[in-house]
Each structure stands twice: as structure tokens, then as C-alpha cells.
Amino acid sequence: MKKEKSSNTVVKSDLVDRVYEKVGFTRQEAMEAVEILLNEIKAGLARGENVRIANFASFNLRKKKARNARNPRTGEQIRIRPRKVLTFKPSRYLLESTDRWHDEPNDS
């Protein structure tokens, strides 16, 4: 029996269900496949590697330098330490599939 979702959000169990239905794995195998994929992405990022999935997206780690800032409540000046941030860049294919890609108009 399918559970109804109250929003337009895909959760991990939805991905497991789709792998189960499309690939022919058992539910357990589908769950393991999704877990392995997500864990490999996390492990690559933890090793400091960027992860690129062709026709989908790139997950990139970027170093940010230390900087001075102000606490907005108190106005006190604070120092923000250097850190790494994770960025997500969707591929052109992903953008096109969600109707978010707009090519430059041709001047023909």
C-alpha cells in the first residue's frame, strides 16, 4: 500500500522504492544500493575529493579564507575561521530536465 506524501519532496525511501521497481532488486538490495551510492559520495567528499556525476551534478569542496565579521545583534567584531564549504552545481542536463535552463537567444 502506497503512502501519500503531503508535499512534493522525494525522500530516501522513495529512491529505494524506485530502484526496487525499476531494477528488479529486492527491497533490501535496493536499500543497500542507495545507501552505498550515498555513502560513496560522502566518503569522497570526506577525503577532500570533488564528486562529479555525469548528466546530474557536481559536489565541490571550496576553501574559504578566514575573515572578520560583525555579530548582527551586538555589533561586536568577530573572527570567522577558515573552513571548507560544500557547493552543489547541477549539470546542464539536470537544469534542462527541470525547465530551468535558458539558452541565449539566437540572433538569426
Quickly list DSSP for 15-71: HHHHHHHHH---HHHHHHHHHHHHHHHHHHHHTT--EEETTTEEEEEEEE--EEEE-
Q: pLDDT at residue 1 above 70?
A: no
Least confident of 23-37, 39-53, 86-100: 86-100
Q: What angle do CA 31, 35, 37 make, to 5 degrees?
A: 120
Q: Look at residue 47 and tell me whether its pLDDT is greater than 70.
A: yes
Q: At residue 6, does pLDDT exceed 70?
A: no
C-alpha cell read off for 12: 530516501
What predicted TM-score, i.e. pTM, was given to this entire model?
0.72
> 54-108 pLDDT, tens per residue?
999 999 999 999 999 999 999 999 999 999 999 999 999 999 988 866 654 545 4
CATH classification code of 12-97: 4.10.520.10
pLDDT grade for 7, boundaries at 50, 70 and 90: confident
